[in-house]
C-alpha cells in the first residue's frame, strides 16, 4: 500500500491494482482452477495460489493485521495451547453447542485454555471491535486478542456495535422525577419538582429508581433511602451482625471455702 487511507482505494494506488490484475490473470486457483488467483501462501517455497474465498473455505489461514500474511492449509501455524478439556469434544461457551477437536474451526484461548468455535469468535469480534474484544470465559483481553488475530480472526479497529447505536445511552441522562410517597402532599402533583425547598424531589441514595418530595419524606435529604433499599440493608446487617458469645457453663466443682486465718498451724516444720 503506497497510498493514504483517505484515498478512494483506501491506501492502494490504481496503477498497483491494475498491475496485480494483470499478474493474477495468468494464475489459476489451486481449489476452483479458475483464473485471477492473486492470493498465495507467504512461504516462498510454496507455490499454492488461490482466491481469498476459496482459501478461507479450504483451511487456509488469512491474517488481518501487520503484513496481512496468508498461509495455505499445509503451512498454516498451529496453536501450541493445550485445551483444558483433553481428548475430543467440548461445548462452546458462546453458542453452547458441541464441537470437535482438533479442527481448524475450533480455537483454544491462551488465557484459560477454553475451546471456542472459530465462527462464534469471529462474530464476537465483529460486534465487540478492538476496544471490547476479550475472552468470553475469563475476560482476558491482551493475550486473547493477540492469539485470535494470529490465527485468523479479523478484529475491526472500532468501538463496539452497542456503543455506536444512536441514542443508545439517552436514558442515562434522564433523572427520576416522581414522588413515590404513599401520601403525596404536593398540591401540584407527584411529578412537580423544584430545585430547592419542600417540593424538591429527592431520589433514593441507594438505587436512584424511586423518589420523594422533601416534605413528603419528612424533610428527606440527599441520603434518603427507599423502602426496598432499607429492607436490603437491614437484612445485610442481620447477616453480618456478630453472634453473642456463649455464656460460660457453671463449674461442676463446688468452690473451696476459705479457711479462717490463724486457726490452723502449718505442719511443714514437723
How is residue 10 written as a grid cell?
483506501
How is residue 179 written as a grid cell?
414522588
Residuewise pLDDT in 10s, the chain (270 residues): 676 777 777 778 888 889 989 998 999 999 999 999 999 999 999 999 999 999 999 999 999 999 999 999 999 999 987 777 665 568 899 999 988 776 889 999 999 999 999 999 999 999 999 999 999 999 999 999 999 999 999 999 999 998 888 877 777 778 899 999 999 999 999 999 999 899 999 999 999 889 999 999 887 677 889 999 999 988 888 877 666 656 665 544 455 555 555 554 544 444
The CATH homologous superfamily to which domain 22-77 belongs is Zinc/RING finger domain, C3HC4 (zinc finger) (3.30.40.10)
Please give the distance of CA 16 from its chain centroid, rounded to a whole number. 42
Distance between CA atoms of residues 138 and 115, nearest Å: 12
Distance between CA atoms of residues 74 and 71, nearest Å: 8
Residue 40: phi and psi, rounded to 5, are -135, 160
DSSP H or E stretch at residue 211: strand 211-213
| DSSP-derived secondary structure for 95-154 | T--B--SS-TTEEE-TTT--EEEHHHHHHHHHHHHHHH---TTT---HHHHHHHHHTT--
User: What is the domain partition of the chain in residue ranges?
Assistant: 22-77, 79-166, 175-240
Residue listed under C-alpha cell 490452723: 264
What is 79-166's CATH number, 3.30.1490, 3.30.70, 3.40.50, 3.30.40? 3.30.40
Distance between CA atoms of residues 117 and 96, nearest Å: 10
Residues ≥6 apart with Cβ < 8 Å to 65: 149, 155
Query: What residues form DSSP beta bridges with 195?
Result: none
The CATH homologous superfamily to which domain 175-240 belongs is Zinc/RING finger domain, C3HC4 (zinc finger) (3.30.40.10)
pTM metric for this prediction? 0.61
SS3 61: strand
How is residue 162 written as a grid cell?
452497542
The reply to whether 175-240 shares the fold of 79-166 is yes
How is residue 125 written as a grid cell?
469480534
Amino acid at each position: 500500500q503506497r497510498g493514504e487511507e483517505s484515498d478512494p482505494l483506501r491506501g492502494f494506488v490504481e496503477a498497483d491494482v491494475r498491475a496485480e490484475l494483470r499478474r493474477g490473470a495468468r494464475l489459476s486457483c489451486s481449489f476452483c482452477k479458475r483464473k485471477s488467483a492473486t492470493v498465495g501462501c507467504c512461504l516462498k517455497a510454496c507455490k499454492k495460489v488461490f482466491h481469498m474465498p476459496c482459501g478461507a473455505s479450504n483451511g487456509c489461514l488469512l491474517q488481518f493485521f501487520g503484513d496481512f500474511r496468508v498461509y495455505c492449509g499445509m503451512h498454516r501455524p498451529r496453536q501450541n495451547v493445550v485445551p483444558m478439556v483433553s481428548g475430543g469434544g467440548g461445548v462452546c461457551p458462546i453458542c453452547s453447542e458441541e464441537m470437535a477437536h482438533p479442527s481448524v474451526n475450533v480455537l483454544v484461548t491462551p488465557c484459560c485454555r477454553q475451546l471456542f468455535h472459530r465462527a462464534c469468535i469471529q462474530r464476537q469480534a465483529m460486534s465487540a471491535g478492538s476496544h471490547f474484544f476479550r475472552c468470553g470465559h475469563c475476560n482476558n483481553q491482551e493475550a486473547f486478542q493477540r492469539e485470535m488475530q494470529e490465527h485468523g480472526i479479523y478484529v475491526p479497529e472500532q468501538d463496539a456495535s452497542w456503543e455506536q447505536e444512536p441514542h443508545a445511552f439517552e436514558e442515562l441522562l434522564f433523572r427520576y422525577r416522581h414522588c413515590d410517597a404513599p401520601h403525596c402532599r404536593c398540591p401540584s402533583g407527584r411529578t412537580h419538582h423544584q430545585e430547592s425547598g419542600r417540593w424538591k424531589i429527592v431520589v433514593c441514595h441507594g438505587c436512584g429508581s424511586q423518589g420523594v418530595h422533601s416534605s413528603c419524606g419528612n424533610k428527606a435529604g440527599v441520603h434518603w433511602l427507599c423502602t426496598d433499599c432499607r429492607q436490603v440493608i437491614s437484612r445485610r446487617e442481620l447477616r453480618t451482625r456478630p453472634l453473642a458469645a456463649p455464656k460460660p457453663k457453671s463449674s461442676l466443682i463446688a468452690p473451696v471455702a476459705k479457711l479462717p486465718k490463724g486457726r490452723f498451724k502449718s505442719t511443714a516444720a514437723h
